[in-house]
Amino acid sequence: MNENQKSEIAKPKGNRFKDYFSDLAKEIFALDHGVDKWGTVQEVKSKQSMSGANAWMLICSIMIASIGLNLNSQAVIIGAMLISPLMAPILGIGVGVGVNDKDALYSALMHFSSAIIIALVTSTLYFWLTPLGELTGQIEARTEPTFLDILIAIFGGIAGIVSIARKDISTTLPGVAIATALMPPLCVTGYGIANGSFEIMTRSFYLFFLNSFFVAFATYVVIRHMNFPFKKYATKKERRKNHIIVAIFSLFMVVPSIYIFISVCKNYNQDQKVKSFMQHAFTADQQKYIDDYRLWATDSSQQILIKVYGDAISSADLSKYEQKLVEYDLKGVQLEILPTAEIDLDNLKEIKTELSGIQNKFDTQINELVQLNEEQQKSSSRQNMFSNNQEIDSTAFSQLSNELHALYPDLTSFSLGTIQSTNFENESIQMPMALISKEKNAKLDLEKLQNFLKVRMDIDEIKIVLE
């Protein structure tokens, strides 16, 4: 046993734990271990070019992302981000500032500008030519930049530069590209340009620029933490000037995002209150007739617009529901019921399924009743109700009409008798005839009704006339 092993054994257990966690803390922040600093700078420079293959990769990824946004497909958008080379020039900007290399910074800015132009031209042309111009959920999600996007961009930038600097974890870069989501907002900017929407264009481009800036800023911080080779400033004044520019630009990017974040949180809380109200203020039966609802807010008022089928929820009951708004902290919000004849296809499918089940049960009951009547007819010796062409017995008619009304509640009257019938070629014949009437808009299967009467009355033919 050597001296080091003896000294290790001799150490108190408490000291060993303390040393372990002390070394672990040092390792966490020692990012420069095993890093080829010069090689890292050169690799970032070599990958940031937006010409040749990289330009085509960018065009392809922009097209795929635009189609994914158009189809509201998150999976397609993620696939586009995986092949996008847009991350490289942004990291190049951070590296250029971090090592104080003006030529490298200028080159990265030029490639970054080229990437923006290529992306905007490609996405604008696509959204201008495509017949699918709907504002999908995926497009709308890229128009609300918040303070949380800054945090994503900062940690994404840290992971990105560490991934390049440490070859053993370079596989994390695709994940960084997805997390920071640099490309979809740029595609949405193209959508805004193609559709003439200044608000969508500015909000989405701000989100893109916000992400890009803080990815580059995080890269700069990590580069300085790793003590990469740094070109000295010519004067202290120039150094102070550069620091002031970075600080002012950071504030310029952060302040609007904080304002938007507060607004988004406020809207989210209000939406949750409205959702809770809609779930609990109306009964389960009433919920079936609610097609859609939306909180409509202006500077002076807020309204909950509710689209309703039929009169299950009427405007006459508004005061009752408005009183419940106070319970959900929605005082001052107004309700408006909008009757609609539109059909929600999802609801229609459910209704059809329910009606199909009811129809099947009804048919089964009819068949069972017909079979029961057949058995009763076979077992009984009573005469045909129309034997000898006599009118039906009043007791038998009363029994038949009661059974008929139980099976077909929409019938309003039922008459039964015999008629003389001829086709002018053969002799005239006598046959029974049923005269019926039903409620307006009620559906009636005359063939099933005719079959029921023939079996029930034990006759071969009967004519049915619908009034």
Look at residue 187 and tell me if it is in a domain. yes
Do 189 and 141 belong together in one domain? Answer: yes
Do 223 and 123 belong together in one domain? Answer: yes
- Higher pLDDT residue, 213 or 165? 213
Is pLDDT at 5 greater than 60 in this prediction?
no
Mean pLDDT, the chain, as a whole number? 76
pLDDT band at 403 (very low <50, low <70, confident <90, very high): confident
Give the residue-averaged pLDDT of 353-359: 73
Residue 449: predicted pLDDT = 82
Q: Residues 307, 69, 109, CA angle at the centre, nearest 5°?
A: 135
Q: Tokens in use for 362?
A: 């009804």
**Among 136-150, 271-285, 389-403, 426-440, which stretch is predicted with the lowest mean pLDDT?**
389-403
Q: How many domains does the chain have?
A: 4
Q: 108: closest CA among 47, 29, 172? A: 47
pLDDT band at 118 (very low <50, low <70, confident <90, very high): very high
Helix (H, G, I), strand (E, B) or coil at 195: coil
Do 189 and 227 belong together in one domain? Answer: yes
Do 7 and 75 belong together in one domain? Answer: no
Is pLDDT at 51 greater than 90 in this prediction?
no
Look at residue 246 and tell me if it is in a domain. no
Do 16 and 75 belong together in one domain? Answer: no
Look at residue 276 and tell me if it is in a domain. no
Is pLDDT at 382 greater than 50 in this prediction?
no
Is pLDDT at 124 greater than 90 in this prediction?
yes
Give the residue-averaged pLDDT of 202-206: 87
Backbone angles phi, psi at 244, to 5 degrees: -65, -40
CATH number at residue 453: 3.30.300.30
Do 24 and 45 belong together in one domain? Answer: no
Backbone angles phi, psi at 220, to 5 degrees: -60, -45
- Higher pLDDT residue, 273 or 342? 273
Which amino acid is residue 343, in one-letter code?
Answer: I
Residue at a domain's end among 199, 231, 263: 231
Rounded CA gap, 435 and 417, in Å?
8
Residue 257: predicted pLDDT = 67
CATH number at residue 77: 1.20.1080
Under DSSP, the state recorded for 341 is -
Task: List, as one string, the DSSP characters of 78-101.
Answer: HHHHHH--THHHHHHHHHHHHTT-
Rounded CA gap, 17 and 233, in Å?
44
Q: 37: closest CA among 168, 257, 223? A: 223
Centre a 10 Å sphere on the Cβ of residue 127 and count the other Cβ atoms it contains.
23
Rounded CA gap, 184 and 62, in Å?
8
- b (16+ CB within 10 A) / e for 78-110: bbbbeebbbbbbbbbbbbbbbbbbeebbebbee
Q: Are strands 290-297 and 302-309 parallel, antiparallel or unpaired?
A: antiparallel
68 Cβ contact partners less than 8 Å away, ≥ 6 residues apart: 74, 75, 76, 77, 79, 80, 138
Is pLDDT at 120 greater than 90 in this prediction?
yes
Do 447 and 354 belong together in one domain? Answer: no
Q: Tokens in use for 77?
A: 């958008």
Q: Where are the alpha helices (DSSP H) in 130-281?
A: 137-140, 147-165, 173-180, 183-194, 198-225, 236-280
Residue 179: predicted pLDDT = 58
Q: Residues 172, 222, 259, CA angle at the centre, nearest 5°?
A: 90
Residue 386: predicted pLDDT = 46
Look at residue 67 and tell me if it is in a domain. yes
Greatest mean pLDDT among 83-97, 118-132, 204-218, 372-386: 118-132
Report if pTM > 0.85. no
Do 224 and 355 belong together in one domain? Answer: no
Q: Tokens in use for 441?
A: 């808009």
Q: Tokens in use for 330?
A: 């929605």
Give the residue-averaged pLDDT of 376-395: 53
pLDDT band at 427 (very low <50, low <70, confident <90, very high): confident
- Higher pLDDT residue, 242 or 194? 194
Look at residue 312 and tell me if it is in a domain. no
Rounded CA gap, 201 and 127, in Å?
13
Is pLDDT at 175 greater than 50 in this prediction?
yes
Residue at a domain's end among 381, 406, 441: 381
Do 167 and 227 belong together in one domain? Answer: yes
> Please, are residues 295 and 263 in contact by the beta-carbon 8 Å criterion?
no
Greatest mean pLDDT among 4-18, 92-106, 288-302: 92-106
Is pLDDT at 174 greater than 80 in this prediction?
no
Residue 125: predicted pLDDT = 93
State the residue range of the domain holding 421.
Answer: 382-466
Crossing angle of helices 53-70 and 183-194, in 10° steps, is: 70
Give the residue-averaged pLDDT of 100-116: 85
Q: Are strands 334-340 and 290-297 parallel, antiparallel or unpaired?
A: unpaired
Do 422 and 361 belong together in one domain? Answer: no
Do 54 and 172 belong together in one domain? Answer: yes
Residue 189: predicted pLDDT = 92
Look at residue 137 and tell me if it is in a domain. yes
Do 357 and 437 belong together in one domain? Answer: no
> Please, are residues 462 and 392 in contact by the beta-carbon 8 Å criterion?
no
In the chain, % of residues over pLDDT 70 = 76
Residue at a domain's end among 231, 263, 291: 231
